[in-house]
Amino acid sequence: MPIPVNHTKPVRTTAKLHAFNQIQQWIIDGTLQPDEKINDIELAQALGVSRTPIRESLQLLESHGFVTMQPGRATQVTAVEKEDIHNLLPPLAVLQALAAELATPNMDETTLQLLEEKNKEFADAIYAKQYIIALNFDEEFHKIIVDRANNSYIISMVEMLQAHVRRLFYYESNILREHSIVQHAEIIRLFREKDTKKLTEIMRSNWIYSIEGY
């Protein structure tokens, strides 16, 4: 199990959180392959922590559906199932729509301008066919909205679901389309008009349309 040694080591974070974030990223980007067996000693050495935070982070990753743990046997990365997109996007769409509704009273012009900047960066990446970069800008666009909803439960659930969507993207890189650029612009317009009914409809559509073709 080759583990990169040049990964970024964040500051001011617990060993467990650092291990969780890094192992999850390795699972998402394919450094740790589907069905691969995980060696907690190797992970501890690679991340410069003891085995305890590794075990704790693996337990958390199991609860999030990224690994399976069999006591006394092996810990394995879960398989990637293309069909999972049909289970992931509908609840994520509902949560994103709710976040948009809750965020509406908290939207100011500075935040709306930031959304416009992110959508431009997203569009530039799409047109340049830099889909991984586009995915990052798309996530940043939606994170701004979710954060403005000021609901920690929505934030944590969205983060978990989006991590799985991101993993699918690395294996099936045709989720993002140019139509999202138009929808993002419409979302910004509806925030300005405070039209929550149409806003939630567009937000749900922005996630659900990605299922087409799967």
The pairing of strands 37-38 and 75-77 is antiparallel
Q: Which amino acid type is present at position 78?
A: T
- Domains in the chain, number: 2
Range of the domain at 178: 82-211
- pLDDT at residue 93 tops 80: yes
Same domain? For 20 and 108 the reply is: no
At 12, the pLDDT band (50, 70, 90 cuts) reads very low
Please report whether residue 10 resides in a domain.
no
**pLDDT, tens digit, for every residue of 129-177?**
998 899 999 999 999 999 999 999 999 999 999 999 999 888 775 567 8
Distance CA 173, CA 9 (A): 28
**pLDDT, tens digit, for every residue of 96-118?**
999 999 999 999 999 999 999 99
Q: Which of 77, 99, 116 is the last residue of a domain?
A: 77
Please report whether residue 3 resides in a domain.
no
At 13, the pLDDT band (50, 70, 90 cuts) reads low
Q: Which of 18, 196, 40 minimizes the C-alpha distance to 104? A: 196
**pLDDT, tens digit, for every residue of 34-71?**
999 999 899 999 999 999 999 999 999 999 999 999 87
Distance CA 22, CA 7 (A): 8
